[in-house]
Amino acid sequence: MRKSAGDNQSSQTLKALLGIRDLVYSGAVAPGERLSEINVCDRLGLSRTPVRAALARLEQEGLLQLIPSGGYAVRSFTEAEIVDAIELRGVLEGTAARFAAERGVSPSRMAGLKALLADLDAIVGQPVAKMDFQAYVECNAEFHEQIAGIAGSAVIRGEIERVTRLPFAGPSAFLNAQTDIPEFRKSLVIGQAHHRGIVDAIEMREGARAEALSREHARLARQNLAFVMTDENLMSKVPGLSLIAV
C-alpha cells in the first residue's frame, strides 16, 4: 500500500525527533548551544518542515528551550531535576501497575508478560562478560511498555511515555555505564526480582503491592545515577551527562 503524504511527513518528523535527541544525548551538542533549523537540517539530511516540528516538540518536552535570538538551545538540568523525573516515572508506573491489578489483565496479556520475564531471566542469568546487553535493554523497555499499557488508561500511558522522554528518566538509564563493574550485575538481579514481584502482584490482584514494587523498582535508576555521578570514568561512558549542571 502506497504511503500518503501525511504518513511520510510523520515518518520524517519522527526521524528528526530521534536524530536531534541522539545529537543531544551523544554529547554532539552541548548545553546552551544554539540549534537552528538550517543547522539541524544539514546535520540530519532532512528538510525544514519535519525539523521545525521536531524542534517544537522537543521544546515542549523540555529538552530544548527557545532563545531570544531565534532558534533553540539545549537545556541543562540539575541532578535534582533528574531525580524528580525518575521519581515521577515511579509514581506513574506504580499507578499503572495498581490499575492493572485492580481491573484485571487478560490471560493472553499476562502470558506475554510472563514470556518477557523468561527472556529477561535468560539474559540476566548469563555471566556479565557474555550478557547480551542490547537484548536486555530491548526486553526491559518492552516490559515497562507493557506495564504502562495493561493499566487500561490512555492518560496514564501517555504520561509515562512523556516522562520517560526526559533525560535519563527511562528504565535503562545509566546501565550502559556499568557493564564492567560488579554492582551492575547486582542491579540487574534486583531489578529482575522487582519485575517478577510486580507481575505476581498484578496476577494476584494485589494493587497496593504492585504499586509499591513499581515505585521501588524506579528507585534503582536513582541509585544508578548516584553511583555513576561519583566516578568520572563512569560518567565519561554516558556523554549525555554533560546535560547535568554540576
3-state SS of 187-243? HHHHHHHHHHHHHHHHHCCCHHHHHHHHHHHHHHHHHHHHHHHCCHHHHCCCHHHHH
Amino acid residing at 85: A
Cα separations (Å) of 140 from 73, 144, 149, 191, 236? 31, 6, 14, 10, 24
Amino acid residing at 143: F
For the chain, give every domain's residue range.
5-75, 78-245
CA 29 – CA 21 distance, rounded (Å): 10
Residue whose C-alpha is closest to residue 75's, from 88, 87, 86, 60: 60
Give me the pLDDT at residue 181, please. 61
Pick the CATH number of 78-245 from 1.10.357.10, 1.10.10.10, 2.40.50.140, 1.20.120.530: 1.20.120.530
Fold of 5-75: Arc Repressor Mutant, subunit A (1.10.10)
Cβ-contact 77, 244 below 8 angstroms: yes
Residues 6+ apart with CB under 8 A from 69: 34
Half-sphere exposure of 70 (CA within 13 A, CB side): 4
pTM for this prediction: 0.79
Residue whose C-alpha is closest to residue 93's, from 177, 196, 170: 170
Cβ-contact 85, 166 below 8 angstroms: yes
- Domains 5-75 and 78-245 agree in fold: no
Residue whose C-alpha is closest to residue 202's, from 147, 135, 129, 123: 147
Which residue is it, cell 546535520?
43
Give me the pLDDT at residue 196, please. 97
Cβ-contact 113, 140 below 8 angstroms: no
Give me the pLDDT at residue 220, please. 87
Residue whose C-alpha is closest to residue 192's, from 120, 126, 92, 98: 120
Q: Measured at the alpha carbon of residue 94, what is the angle toward residues 99 and 17, in degrees to the nearest 5?
A: 105
Give me the pLDDT at residue 164, please. 86
Residues of the chain with pLDDT under 50: 1-2
Q: Where are the beta strands (DSSP E) in the chain?
A: 34-35, 64-66, 72-74, 77-78, 244-245
